[in-house]
Structure 1
Amino acid sequence: MKAVNEKHYVSLDVGGTFIKHAAIDKSGQMIHSSKVPTPDNLTDFIAAINEIVRSYLPNIRAICFSCPGKIDTQSGTVYFGGALVYLDKFSIKKHIEQEFEIPCTVINDGKAAALAELWQGQLKEIKNGGVLTLGTGVGCGLVINGALLEGNHFQAGEVSFMLLSTKEPFEFTEIAGAKGSAVLFIERASQLLGLSENDGKTVFKELEKKNPLIQPVFEEYCRNIALIITNIQTVVDMERIAIGGGISEQPLMIEEIRRQYQLLRDTSMGFLEMLTPIKIVACAFRNEAGLLGALYHLLTQIETHQIEQEI
């Protein structure tokens, strides 16, 4: 790794496939970034993050993490861990501060994405807004009165558990995290196309041609996202929502979500007209959202003196 000659912040974005890491200055400028595969067990995970941190020493002011799961931002403890179930009840903050004696903060990845957009992206100067990240499930971060909403139990915005059906007995396939899963959509579309593996690029090439095999599946998927947005809007009354995740890089996706959102309003017998329409946009930050949002969270903790840092 290229040496960093002065002290910067180090941010780690823990995902199901990779752990991305970067040295970043206070303005959000990336000095260096890289990634390593995400381990499949806690012992190897601890070894991996230790190695990453050591690679930046001694030029670290403080360390921040973006991570899946319910995150107690005060103790830095991960609960459930999303796809990384081995992180359940593990305090990343406690480990880093004991191992390296460097201040550390941890925040949920969906909330990190919202903070990145609030800091320098689509939610900048937006009083009430949100971010939906479409991946294995549906991540979410809500900004209310210009500040991130965490909730009493750090669970605000856990829209993957939103119920989208009244079926009994209730099935996992009926929650928003399943109906809004980009991974499951690509998997289903790839199977319909007869592909040997899940291939998002090929799926969207076929969607550009309006391939009748997968076009209805695509429209159904985007309608599910529009339903989630509408449900959030009934409670929060947002001005803007930004769509993130790798799939959001496809302009066709944002266009179809907008179209389905308007169709919901047009076919609602007028009652949805009572809700002010929300502006739906693509996130300004995609691959860097977790890194930047984690840093913004760290900086706000420093500013409010919730963590001490030697400048």
Structure 2
Amino acid sequence: MKRLLVLDIGGTSIKYGIWKDDELSGTASIETPKTWQEMKQIILKLTKQFDEKIDGVAISSPGAVDTETGIIYGLSAIDYIHRFPIREELSNLVKLPVSIQNDANCAALAEVWQGNAQAVKNSAYLIIGSGIGGAVVIDKQLKAGTHLFGGEFGYMIIDSQTNQTLSEAGSPVTMARHFSQEKNDGQHYTGREVFTLADNGDALAKIYVDRLLHALTIGAFNLSVTFDPEVILIGGAISQNEQVIKEINKRLKALIKEKEADGLTPTVKACHFLDKANMLGAVYQFYLENDPKENP
């Protein structure tokens, strides 16, 4: 079994650790650097930091990652990682094989490999935070699409009158910001606090939570009729709220019945993995690219 340096690159921090003996160890984080030159120096330093020999580097990254060419397209908070052969440059730098995969896709791969999608062939993912990312897995294979937009469900328009997208309507961060503005009591609420207020009977909070759940239900319905997955897995902090998962399941069943989409039986579940999902998925991607026969 290979020993890998595993990196989860985010806009504010880079999580890192070592994959060995079938588990992650030595996990920690460092602030995301401001330049590509600094990023390279950090990665090079990390490959030499651990006592044991490293056999490769597995990376989870924002952006539209082309795993064939090793180039990251699209946009992200880290503008200097895009549109050049980044995988090749890093591999030449550290003198090791390097794999890179989109962070939402990594979360999905972690679920397929060791999480709540192990037992199913077809699954779809909504990774919910300040926006909404996602992934599509058919026959246990990740489907990135022709232009690497497979799974970018946040762009899905769910209101034909306003052209509101799922990211705009289904993000707890956005919900909390709009709620705070309308509440106008001098406080800046988090999504979690808005849910708590709704549970405690706050009328305005109830309206905002209902809108968010409605948007996520429409998103789940559209995924169901498009891909017919056996399971739709929700990631992000909101997935830890069992009542949210229960309510979306309830609403989704009602919507399927209302639209007479007979035969659809998707189940909405929370992702099994939270903070380590991207790192585990990055490990899985490394084996898919570099040694499928040794796939753990």
| Structure 1 length-normalised TM | 0.85
Aligned: 1:209 with 2:203 = no
Q: Deviations over 1:254-278 (max 9, x none)?
A: 2232233234235x2x423x24121
Q: 1:183 to 1:48 in 2, by over 3 A?
A: farther
Q: Deviations over 1:49-73 (max 9, x none)?
A: 3443343376211111111111011
The CA RMSD measured in Å over matched residues stands at 2.5
**Structure 1 counterpart SS, 2:18:** strand
Q: 1:191 to 1:262 in 2, by over 3 A?
A: farther
Alignment of 1:79-90 (within 5 A): 79-90=73-84
The answer on whether the counterparts of 2:101 and 2:285 sit within 8 Å (CA) in structure 1 is: yes
Aligned: 1:17 with 2:12 = yes
Counterpart Cα distance in 2 of 1:176 and 1:100: 40
Task: Tell me by how many angstroms 1:241 deviates.
Answer: 1.0
Alignment of 1:158-307 (within 5 A): 158-167=152-161, 174-193=164-183, 194=185, 196-266=187-257, 268=258, 270-272=259-261, 274-304=262-292
One-letter code aligned to 1:150 = A
Alignment of 1:114-153 (within 5 A): 114-153=108-147
Q: 1:91 to 1:277 in 2, by over 3 A?
A: same
One-letter code aligned to 2:280 = L
Any gaps of 5 or more consecutive residues in structure 1? Answer: 1-5
Q: 1:126 to 1:61 in 2, by over 3 A?
A: same
Counterpart Cα distance in 1 of 2:121 and 2:2: 33
Counterpart Cα distance in 1 of 2:49 and 2:240: 31
Counterpart Cα distance in 2 of 1:254 and 1:149: 25
One-letter code aligned to 1:239 = E
Task: Tell me by how many angstroms 1:279 deviates.
Answer: 0.3
The answer on whether the counterparts of 1:223 and 1:261 sit within 8 Å (CA) in structure 2 is: no
Counterpart Cα distance in 2 of 1:153 and 1:224: 25
Task: Tell me by how many angstroms 1:221 deviates.
Answer: 0.8
Counterpart Cα distance in 1 of 2:224 and 2:2: 42
Task: Tell me by how many angstroms 1:145 deviates.
Answer: 1.0
Q: 1:138 to 1:43 in 2, by over 3 A?
A: same
Counterpart Cα distance in 2 of 1:60 and 1:196: 48
Could you tell which deviates more after superposition, 47-56 or 10-19?
47-56
Number of residue equivalences: 293
Q: Deviations over 1:80-127 (max 9, x none)?
A: 233333432144312221111110000111111110000010100211
Q: Deviations over 1:138-159 (max 9, x none)?
A: 1111110122112233321121
Task: Tell me by how many angstroms 1:179 deviates.
Answer: 2.0
> Which of 90, 98, 114 is equivalent to 1:96?
90
Q: Deviations over 1:21-62 (max 9, x none)?
A: 1111263x1121011222455444444434433433762111
> Which of 52, 64, 84 is equivalent to 1:70?
64
> Which of 40, 44, 55 is equivalent to 1:61?
55
The answer on whether the counterparts of 1:219 and 1:256 sit within 8 Å (CA) in structure 2 is: no
**Structure 2 counterpart SS, 1:13:** strand
Counterpart Cα distance in 1 of 2:289 and 2:21: 13
Task: Tell me by how many angstroms 1:201 deviates.
Answer: 4.0
Q: 1:89 to 1:303 in 2, by over 3 A?
A: same
Could you tell which deviates more after superposition, 109-118 or 54-63?
54-63
The answer on whether the counterparts of 1:225 and 1:257 sit within 8 Å (CA) in structure 2 is: yes
The answer on whether the counterparts of 2:173 and 2:191 sit within 8 Å (CA) in structure 1 is: no
Aligned match of 1:3: none
One-letter code aligned to 1:97 = S
Task: Tell me by how many angstroms 1:176 deviates.
Answer: 2.1
Could you tell which deviates more after superposition, 45-54 or 223-232?
45-54
Could you tell which deviates more after superposition, 89-98 or 215-224?
89-98
Task: Tell me by how many angstroms 1:223 deviates.
Answer: 1.2
Q: 1:180 to 1:80 in 2, by over 3 A?
A: same
